[in-house]
């Protein structure tokens, strides 16, 4: 299907829920989460595995990496991983439309390319891991450079959603680039019949400014009123579009990272934009989203505005 220039490719009926798997337990959790999501959204589930033959060639040399003795076991192992993933998805819902595809491409590049037309892309992350290095280059590359929404599945086991019945929580930074995250959060809350908690925090008061004045020159009560007004302005149109969603607003002077990590202990999903207020366009993964991907206790959806 060819999309109209004005259409959002992530919202087309043909857009699949995509999940990457490498056969690990964390990937299994992501496959289960993606299967639940695809069933709820009534979309196809596309499970993919990348062999990264280019990387193999770099290690072994082009000639050796092309030998059947090298490539055949890699293909066989990849097919085994995909068969296992398909079984996991069908264990959850035997009627779910599941497609598995084996690619020779680098996994990160593959998922970034697929994210251009996917409903969302999901990957697994090891619970309790607290350093970027241990999260893996594939995960961080896809979260940073993917299109649309990327979900890092954390805090789940046995295929059960994290904190069943908990709210969807969205970090609202007040910037135009955060609008995509608000839109995604309202849609997720509506689909899940869940409460939406909107969390807005302002920090770094010593370097901030409002209405031409330094933050420290403005009474805190006036700042709070202004920030509540900003949050209400950002949410107004979305509340009209999703009247079925119950919205709770939270405004705090404390930093957004700590607030959202705390909410992740009870939320079924945290939604954030890829960059925060005042972020540079070249900084594709902001400090808040970066922190949550490492520390949250539930799945984290990072939404790119473009």
pLDDT for residue 67: 63
The Cα 158–Cα 200 span in angstroms is 33
| Residue 7 pLDDT greater than 90, yes or no | no
Structure tokens at 277: 């207020």
Q: If pLDDT is split at 50, 70 and 90, which confidence band does 140 have?
A: confident
pLDDT for residue 135: 44
**Domains of the chain in sequence order:** 12-160 (3.40.50.12370), 162-300 (3.40.50.12370)
pLDDT for residue 213: 47
User: pLDDT tens digits for 248-298?
Assistant: 998 887 778 888 999 999 999 999 988 644 443 434 456 788 889 888 999
| Residue 157 pLDDT greater than 70, yes or no | no
Give 3-state DSSP helix, strand, coil % of the chain, rounded to 5: 45, 20, 35
| Residue 306 pLDDT greater than 80, yes or no | no
CB neighbour class for 4 (10 Å; exposed up to 12, middle 13-18, buried from 19): exposed
Structure tokens at 93: 């819902």
SS3 call for 57: helix
| Global pTM value | 0.84
pLDDT for residue 8: 84
pLDDT for residue 133: 40
Q: If pLDDT is split at 50, 70 and 90, which confidence band does 216 have?
A: very low
């Amino acid at each position: 299907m060819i999309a109209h220039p004005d259409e959002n490719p992530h919202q087309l009926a043909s857009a699949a829920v995509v999940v990457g798997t490498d056969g690990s337990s964390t990937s299994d959790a992501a496959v289960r989460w993606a299967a639940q999501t695809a069933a709820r959204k009534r979309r196809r589930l596309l499970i993919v595995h990348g062999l990264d033959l280019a990387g193999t060639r770099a290690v072994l040399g082009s000639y050796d990496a092309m030998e059947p003795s090298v490539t055949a076991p890699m293909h066989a192992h990849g097919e085994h991983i995909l068969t296992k993933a398909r079984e996991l998805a069908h264990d959850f819902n035997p009627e779910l439309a599941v497609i598995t595809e084996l690619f020779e491409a680098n996994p990160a590049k593959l998922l970034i390319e697929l994210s251009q037309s996917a409903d969302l892309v999901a990957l697994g992350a090891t619970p309790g891991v607290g350093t970027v290095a241990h999260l893996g280059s594939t995960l961080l590359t896809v979260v940073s450079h993917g299109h649309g929404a990327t979900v890092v599945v954390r805090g789940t086991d046995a295929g059960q959603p994290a904190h069943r019945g908990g709210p969807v929580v969205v970090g609202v930074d007040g910037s135009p680039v955060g609008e995509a995250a608000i839109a995604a959060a309202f849609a997720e809350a509506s689909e899940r019949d869940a409460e939406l908690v909107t969390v807005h925090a302002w920090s770094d008061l010593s370097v901030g400014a409002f209405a031409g004045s330094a933050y420290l020159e403005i009474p805190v009560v006036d700042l709070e009123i202004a920030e509540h007004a900003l949050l209400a302005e950002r949410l107004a149109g979305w509340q009209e579009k999703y009247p079925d969603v119950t919205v709770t607003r939270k405004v705090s002077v404390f930093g957004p990272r700590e607030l959202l990590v705390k909410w992740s202990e009870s939320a079924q999903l945290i939604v954030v934009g890829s960059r925060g207020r005042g972020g540079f366009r070249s900084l594709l993964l902001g400090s808040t989203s970066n922190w949550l991907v490492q520390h949250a206790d539930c799945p984290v959806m990072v939404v790119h505005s473009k």
